[in-house]
Structure formats: structure tokens, C-alpha cells
Amino acid sequence: MEMFFDPKSIVVIGASNAPFNLGATICTMLKDYLQYTGDVYALNLKGEAVNGYPGYSSILDIPKTPDLAVIIVAARNVPGIIKDCAVKGIKRIIIETAGFSEGGEDGKAMQQEIDNIARVNGIRIMGPNCLGTLSTRKKFCCFYGVNPSLVEMSQIFEVPGNISYIIQSGGVAVLVMESLYYDVVGVNKVVSIGNKCDVDEADLIDYFQKDETEVIGIYLENVANGRKLMDAAKKSRKPILIYKVGKTPEGAMAAMSHTAGMANNDSIFDSACKQAGIIRLQSIDELHSLPKIFTEMPLLKGKRIAMFTNSGAFGSIAADLLVEAGLQMVHLSSQTQEKLKKAGKAFNIKNPVDIGPAPPQTYLDIFEILLAADEVDGLLPLLSVWQPFVIDTLLELMKICKRYDKPAAIYTANAIAKSIAIRAKHRIPIFETSEQAVRALSVSHAYYESLLKRNFISAPASSAASGLENNIGAWAEAAS
């Protein structure tokens, strides 16, 4: 699989100097944006060089056997090209061309022919109808049509991260990468698998177990081999987040015209995900917004959440959201409330803790008191950045979370544009809405529970029990 992401040589089949040629955009990106150090060959009818890369009119003429062939020519020419690739001994092929299974009976027949040649010759194929692969660390990308005006696309290579994506749609892949440019987590690898005639999401989940990947994000329009996917997911030691379209017949129908999948029964898929420990996403934006709760914060090991706000309403709003998400508003113990009272400036020392105008030290004291409390499993700070110092306290909060091994899902109660700007500048894992922050806590805990269920970790029996006692005690006290 590595050769799909880190080839030492590549032939772009269909790259030419014709206007609007898509293969040429791949050559331009490799040379001008990525300074790719491998060998690149262009294949076209005239055998002409493209952007300084040598050109050939037949694969057989290329002086050596490329590690990878990327095909972007009319669909009808693809089977013949695959035959040539087989003769040349090429073992990895990405077919970016569309018009196969998703394009009617002729397309299906061609697909069958390709599958046969590949199987006989031990060739692994990615696509068709895809964008192929991208690796930030290897500075490799064979996406076609990437536009120089999409500044964000080229900049994600500058700060490689640890999220890898498997995305059955080029458009969604571009959206996710563009969005991460404004976030604190970076991309490791992205793969657009299209109609996935051979390499599929399960193969890639296996592959991402062995590299720098920390979180796997997946966008699916259909599942061809459900058992294979679930088996791969069950073995995964890295969180898998999946958004799948086709919850309604209309959505499934639209997906079918796009990437040729069969409509899958959504509720069956849903329960299979739960069994396999897959986190099912509720919106496409969660693909880029949620991974940071895993990479930047400890896992949420219980359901008891303390909230802390400097603007009372947000506590009320988030209390609704927390409970609807299946988490618990922790009842703070009398000891904790006593400490909060001493910290001063609090309107409310019960959960949600609510303060008025207060200096930075009060924020830090409250973070510390809440995260140190036995009855608290995680923190939901809902803090308006009404003064720049609030940003400094949030930077400190990230350290306090690590110290207590408990997460905080940070929401800054400000205009989204402003929250995003603060996040990008200060590298703080800020969520854009209180809904998103609550959801992050919820998926963090769901993943923790799936690790327990799969026996990948064991519960600290004593602490879980005592946590429960504490909470019962606090309830009793609150009720008295």
C-alpha cells in the first residue's frame, strides 16, 4: 500500500500540453508546489514532454518501470492502458477517470475487464472515479485539478499532522483539507477511493494502523463489503469516524449516480458501527472538527461533566445539549463547591459554574478545582473571549488537562469567524459551537468505551467505582 503514497517514480497517463488538460495539473503540482523528488513520466498521443517531465506515446517505451501509474484519459481507453501497464510490470494503478460502474452498462463491462487483468497480473487498483492519494510527509499528491488559488490546499503540506482520511468523493476531500487549514490538527494522508473496484476502506484502515495516523476519518457513499470493513474496524487501535450518506432513499439514490454504490440499509449499518467501535458522524463538518478532541486532549473516561462559563446563558444552553447527548451534569461535591467559593467571583458555584468579570487567576483556579475533583470526568468551558487574557488561560488549561488526564472541550462564546481566528493563531482546540463541543465529549467517551469493550484497555476498577460513589453522594447531598 505504501507505494500508492510514496512512489519513487510515477507515470501520468493522459498528461499533455492541450488546454485544460487535467493530467498536466498533476505534473504542475508535483513539480511546482511539492518539489517531488521522484521520477515523473508523461504519457500522451504525441509523446510530448509536460512541464519539463519527459513524454512518451507508449508505456512500453518508458526507460524504467514506474512504481505507480496514474490514469486520467477517456474511460474507453482505460482497459487497453491497463493491459500495457501489466506488460510493463506496473503493480500499482490509480484510475482517476470517471464513467465506469456509475455510468451504465458499458461502463460496468469495462470495469469487469479491468478487474480481470488486474487480478491475473497481481496489480492493485485504486478508483476508478477518484482523485487518488496524498501524503503530506512524503510531499506527494496525484489529485488532478488542484487549483493554485486554493491556497489552503498547498499549505497543508507545510505542517504535516496525524489525521488520515479515506474519502469516497474528491469534493469532500478538498473541503476537509481546506477546513483543516483553519484548525489545529493537520493531515497525514488523504485517499479518494471513488468506486473502489479493488482497494477499499478496509484495506486502508489496516494500512493506517502502521503509520503516523492517530485518527481515521472516512466519508462513504456506499459499503461494498460490510464484513471486511467491520473486521478491519474491530482491530483498529485508532479512532475511526465515518460519515455515510444514504440515510434516506433520496440520498442513497443521489449517491448511486455519483459513485455507483448500492443503497445500504442504514439502520443495519448503524448497529454494525456500534459493534465495531466505529463513531458515526452526524454531519460532514464533523470529519474535520472532531478529530482534535482525540489528538489534543486525553480521552473522556466517564460521563460526568462540569461546565464553566463567564456568561450564564451558555451554561443553560449546554446543559440541555449535554443531557440530550447522554452525558451527565455532575453534581459538584460540597468540598468542590467550598473551593469554588474561596476562588471568588462566582455567581454560581454549582454546575454550571458561572462567573462575572474576573481576573485571569480566577479562571485558572476554577479550571484546576474542577479538573482535580474526583467527581468530574471532563470539562466543558463555555467562555466568551471578552478580554485577550482569556486566550492565555485556555493555553494553560490545555496543560492542566494533560496533568489530570481529563479532557476539556473548549467553546469560545464568540462569533464563529472570531473563534476560528483565535484557534488558528493560538493553536487552541476550540470548537465552533456548543453543540460541537458537547459532541466532541460524547465521541471521546464512546471511543473510550469501545476500547474497554474490545479489551484493548481495562477499566481502573477502583476509580470507576469510587467515581460512582462520589456522584451518588453528591446527588444525595444536592437533593437534601
Q: Which of residues 29-48 bind a copy of itself (CB under 8 A)?
A: none
415 binds a copy of itself (CB under 8 A): yes
Check: CB of residue 356 under 8 Å from CB of residue 345.
yes
Q: Which stretch binds a copy of itself (CB under 8 A): 45-53, 70-78, 415-423, 458-466?
A: 415-423
Decide if residue 67 touches a copy of itself (CB under 8 A): no
Q: Is 314 in the site for a copy of itself (CB under 8 A)?
A: yes
Contact 74/50 with Cβ under 8 angstroms? no
Per-residue mark of binding to a copy of itself, 195-214 (x: CB under 8 A): --------------------
Residue 84 CB, nearest distance to a copy of itself (Å)?
27
* DSSP-assigned beta bridge partners for residue 309: 354, 382
Shortest Å distance, C-beta 147 to a copy of itself: 6
Near a copy of itself by CB under 8 A: residue from 51, 195, 393, 414: 414
* Exposure class string for 333-343: b at 16+ Cβ within 10 A, else e: beebbebbeeb
* 149 or 271: CB nearest a copy of itself: 149
What's the gap between Cα 169 and its chain centre? 14
Q: Name the residue nearer to a copy of itself (CB basis): 56 or 243.
A: 243
In this complex, which beta carbon is closest to a copy of itself, that of residue 13 or of residue 173? Answer: 173
Q: Is 147 among the residues that bind a copy of itself (CB under 8 A)?
A: yes
Q: Is 149 an interacting residue with respect to a copy of itself (CB under 8 A)?
A: yes
The contact mask relative to a copy of itself for 229-258 (x = CB under 8 A, - = no) is ----------------xxxxxxx-xxx-xx
Maximum alpha-carbon separation in the chain: 87
Q: Does 313 bind a copy of itself (CB under 8 A)?
A: yes
Binders of a copy of itself among residues 432 to 451 (CB under 8 A) are: 432-435
The DSSP result for 313-352, as a single string, is HHHHHHHHHHHHTT-EE----HHHHHHHHHH--EEE-SSS
Is 267 among the residues that bind a copy of itself (CB under 8 A)?
no
52, 80, 89, 171: residue in contact with a copy of itself (rule CB under 8 A): 171
Distance, in Å, from the CA atom of 421 to the CA atom of 17, rounded to the nearest integer, reads: 40
Which residue type sits at 151? V
- Closer residue to a copy of itself (CB): 229 or 349: 349
Q: Is 156 in the site for a copy of itself (CB under 8 A)?
A: no
Backbone angles phi, psi at 279, to 5 degrees: -90, 120
Element (H, E) at 204: helix 201-207
Compute the least distance from the CB of residue 281 to a copy of itself, in Å. Answer: 11
Toward a copy of itself, which CB reaches closer, 150 or 451?
A: 150
Listed residue (109, 108, 112, 73) closest to 94, CA to CA: 73
From 72-80, 131-139, 431-439, 466-474, span contacting a copy of itself (CB under 8 A): 431-439
Cβ proximity to a copy of itself: between 219 and 447 the closer is: 219
Q: Which is nearer to a copy of itself, 255 or 408 (CB)?
A: 255
DSSP string, 24-91: HHHHHIIIIIT---SEEEEE-TT---BTTB-EESSGGGSSS--SEEEE-S-GGGHHHHHHHHHHHT--
How far apart CA 176 and CA 174 sit, in angstroms, is 6
CA dihedral 419, 421, 426, 431 (to 10 degrees): 30
Q: Which is nearer to a copy of itself, 254 or 262 (CB)?
A: 254
Pick one of 32, 158, 320, 405: the residue that binds a copy of itself (CB under 8 A): 320
Q: How many residues bind a copy of itself (CB under 8 A)?
A: 74
Q: What letters, b where the CB count within 10 A reaches 16 and e where it falls short, cover 30-56?
A: beebbebeebbbbbbeeeebbbebebb
Closest CA to 156 of 192, 187, 191: 187
406 touches 379 (CB < 8 A): yes
The answer to the question of residue 217 lying near a copy of itself (CB under 8 A) is: no
Assess contact for 159 and 186: CB atoms under 8 A. yes
Q: Among residue numbers 97 through 136, which ones bind a copy of itself (CB under 8 A)?
A: 98
| CB 301, CB 374: distance < 8 Å | no
220 forms beta bridges with 244
Q: Does 329 bind a copy of itself (CB under 8 A)?
A: yes
Q: Please identify which residue in 127, 170, 239, 467 interacts with a copy of itself, judged by CB under 8 A.
A: 170
Do the beta carbons of residue 268 and residue 261 sit within 8 Å? Answer: no
Would you count residue 420 as binding a copy of itself (CB under 8 A)?
yes
Dist CA 440 CA 328 (whole Å): 14
Q: Is 372 in the site for a copy of itself (CB under 8 A)?
A: no
- Pick 136 or 434: Cβ nearer a copy of itself: 434
Segment contacting a copy of itself by CB under 8 A, of 53-61, 154-162, 281-289, 361-369: 281-289
Range 340-359, binding a copy of itself (CB under 8 A): 347-348, 350, 352, 354, 357
